[in-house]
Amino acid sequence: MKRILATSLLLATLSAGTATAQISLVNPVPQKVTASGKGIVAAPAAWRVICDKKRSGSIATQALVKATTVKQQPKAAYSVTIGVKGDKAVSKVAKLIPAKAEGYYLSITDKGAVVAGVDEEGLYYGVQTLLASVAEGKLECCTITDWPDVPFRGTVEGFYGTPWSHKARLSQIEFYGRNKMNVYIYGPKDDPYHRNHWRVPYPDEEARRIQELNEHAKQCGVNFYWAIHPGVDIKWNDADRDALMAKLEKMYQLGIRSFAVFFDDIWGEGAKADKQAALLNYVDDNFIKSHKDVKPLIMCPTEYNRSWANDAGGYLRTLGTKMNKDIQIMWTGNSVVHCIDKESMEWINQRIDRKAYIWWNFPVSDFVRDHILLGPAYGNGLDIANDMSGFVSNPMEHAEASKISLYGIADYTWNMKAYDYKADWEKGLKAVLPDNYEALRTFALYNKDLGPNGHGFRREEGDELKPVADAALSGDLKGVQSLLGKCYELRMAVDVLLADNSNPELRRELRPWLLQGKNVADYGVAVCAMAANRKYPNAFPSFEQAYKQARALQVQMYELENSDVRHALQPGIKVATKVLLPTLNKLFTQTVEAYNKENGTSFVCEAEYNPYKIESTVPQLALLPVSVRGNDVTVAPSLEVIKWAKGASFTIESDRNVTFAGMEFNLGVPGVAKNFKLELYDNGVWKEVSLLHYRDNDPVIHTGNELGGMQASKLRITNVSGADKEVYFKNFKFVKQ
């Protein structure tokens, strides 16, 4: 009730004192809503569309035709009049249309509706508002005056790992159109024709898929941006400049009308600001401006966040002064993964001499693939709409699950001051899985936080559980009973979601975490039974029975984490890692310790089972997860440039001796093996193992033959070059016998 009241008061403020009506089903929240007429009435079973002839084929008209909530019938009593400013059909309300790009005016009465846009996009968004408002078979009589705060809003498919499927991209684009996001930037890191083979045209089949995505985006009011990433191996010569222009022209011939050029996550020759500026000015002058129907060019710089910016080196200021002012510059904030505020916007805008185009790295999880992020989008300033030229989210590789956060991001970028992330999260969950919203909400409560990570970016998770957790750990039996109830709730939610067929793609994405959630819930039941048994020793199950089950589930959680249930490249499966699981582990340990003391027993009280751990003086590597598939022990990659200081080391320790059969790792730089030393620790002695590349141009580092059959409990890699090194950490694996 407090949340509803606060939202109503906020809308009243935005309406300058006029009585307003909240159209609760509409996303994003409109800028101004004014109640009128008869309030809420039944929606018509059918309506007829009235518009100028030139508007009959517009995407707004097609959206009305395709609507499933209300049928279109030429003689229906209820009329929907639509048009763009200047159209005869909406001439009577022309003065009421907001004079802002993509703005619209909408009037809904019990007799008919009028949708008038300042442009074609605004008309389309007004129709989307009308369609959303009748989704539950009712109409709210009101007038709406609406427009977006941020000119460009949407997503960048810019994560590392498994790219979205074609089907997922089509679904995403439809989702953007419904929620008034107007940008989808196609830039998957693992598309070879985007990055590693950027000079090469797409094969016919892949070109057709991109063409289909672009056409689908047009029908949904979305600008399909195609991004190219030449910086990894570009030569600053006419041949590569012409190759870039030829590739862009090829994409233009496919129908693409929005373009981006990326220079992120590189170093060396491709990272020179003056060269980048000169190249992009050439592209802007000779390609973008020569085609009158394309959007402004976007570039992602090499120094794309404040923590990496060498202010004294002048990279950003060079872009600001030398690059054409109509080229948009992307920015992730004070670090790679960071929320955006007023001060950080002022800092970057002063240096690039234009408004930054925000690339927000949330809910992307390519650096924490053992987690799935189902929490709300929050933390960005509500006073920075006028400081940015665009705002795009970098989502997860799990496209359906990403929609929960993206729902809120659509609202945030449209109407910042009215943004309520908690309300949007609830609505986003319902939008993704309406039939089983409660189960998804329960599960999502334990899948918000990222866990410890190299970027230090965390999210709230389990705050509502803390009083219960504190009570249980204090020995309060009611607290234990409440904690037990939470575990049962999680267990039931998991079972419901595992059987839900309404969104099979979401179920596929969630499945590893759902199975682990079941383990965590069962573990919680067993641990709570142990704690309760100390108060009631004759209860069932006995302490020993519950203890054995809890220990078995610890092993099962580890084994599931390293099973084929995982998605490709997924290093583990973490659920409830911020409050619930740590609470259960603490309760397990303190209960076992107390039981041992009381009964003279020696049950193992360690709560977590993991035979491998990492220690590193390279901060970006210290928190990477270790996973096992068969005999392969793998460390998850780090997806940015690694600043490996001289003398710094990376160590993996096992809880027992391992017999090594082989090992390889890729630091992304040919010939770099000579700068590093590998050592194995056996019986208190470090023994060196030789490192080599099989080919001069191969960045993969291999070990000498002496590794085979060696036994050790630790391995350590140290930078022995005498200088700091910039490398990647693309993959790391050793094989045990």
As given in the structure block, the two tokens for residue 145 are 């005056």
Q: Which of 146, 191, 265, 424 is catalytic?
A: 265
CB neighbour class for 140 (10 Å; exposed up to 12, middle 13-18, buried from 19)? buried
Using the predicted structure, report yes or no on whether residue 13 has a pLDDT greater than 70.
Answer: no
Asked if residues 333 and 387 have their Cβ atoms less than 8 Å apart, the reply is no
Q: Which residues contact 190 (CB under 8 A, 6 or more apart)?
A: 160, 161, 162, 163
CA nearest neighbour of 660 among 599, 704, 604, 596: 704
Look at residue 6 in the predicted model and tell me its pLDDT.
39
What average pLDDT score do residues 562-570 get?
93
Decide: helix, strand or coil at residue 454.
coil
> What is the SS3 assignment for 35?
strand
Counting DSSP H helices and E strands in the chain, the numbers are 17, 27
Rounded CA gap, 477 and 67, in Å? 54
Residue 566 corresponds to which tokens in the numbers above? 């995982």
Structure tokens at 648: 């710094």
Residue-by-residue DSSP string for 431-484 = HH-GGGHHHHHHHHTTS----S-TT------SGGGHHHHHHHHTT-HHHHHHHH
Token pair, residue 602, equals 């020696």
Q: What is the pLDDT of residues 239-286, one digit of tens each?
A: 999 999 999 999 999 999 999 999 998 888 889 999 999 999 999 999
Does residue 391 surpass a pLDDT of 70?
Answer: yes
How far apart CA 383 and CA 361 sit, in angstroms, is: 20
- pTM score, whole prediction: 0.89
Q: Please compute the mean of the pLDDT values over residues 624-639 and round it to a whole number.
A: 85
Whether residue 265 lies in the annotated active site: yes
More confident residue, 354 or 20: 354
pLDDT at 21 (0 to 100): 43
Do residues 507 and 440 lie in contact, with contact meaning Cβ atoms separated by under 8 Å? no
Place of tokens 């499966």: 573
pLDDT value at 37 more than 90:
no
| Tokens representing residue 387 in the block | 């400081």
Helices (DSSP H) in 500-536: which residue ranges? Answer: 504-535
Q: What is d(CA 636, CA 733) in angstroms, rounded to the nearest whole number?
A: 9
Residue 140 has pLDDT above 80, yes or no: yes
One-letter amino acid for residue 702 of the chain: H
Q: How far apart are CA 684 and CA 209, in angstroms?
A: 58
How many CA atoms does the CB half-sphere of 85 hold within 13 Å? 17
Phi, psi (rounded to 5 degrees) for 683: 55, 45
- The residue ranking higher by pLDDT, 43 or 443, is 443
Query: Structure tokens of 263?
Result: 């220079």
Classify 110 as helix, strand or coil: coil
SS3 236: coil
Per cent of the chain over pLDDT 70 is 97
pLDDT tens-digit map of 352-370:
999 999 999 999 999 999 9
Out of 426-435, 553-562, 628-637, pick the least confident. 628-637
Question: CA–CA separation, 404 vs 384, rounded Å?
Answer: 23
Nearest-angstrom CA–CA distance, 658 and 651: 14
Distance CA 274, CA 316 (A): 10
Name the band, by pLDDT with cuts 50, 70 and 90, for residue 670.
Answer: very high
pLDDT, residue 570, reads 92
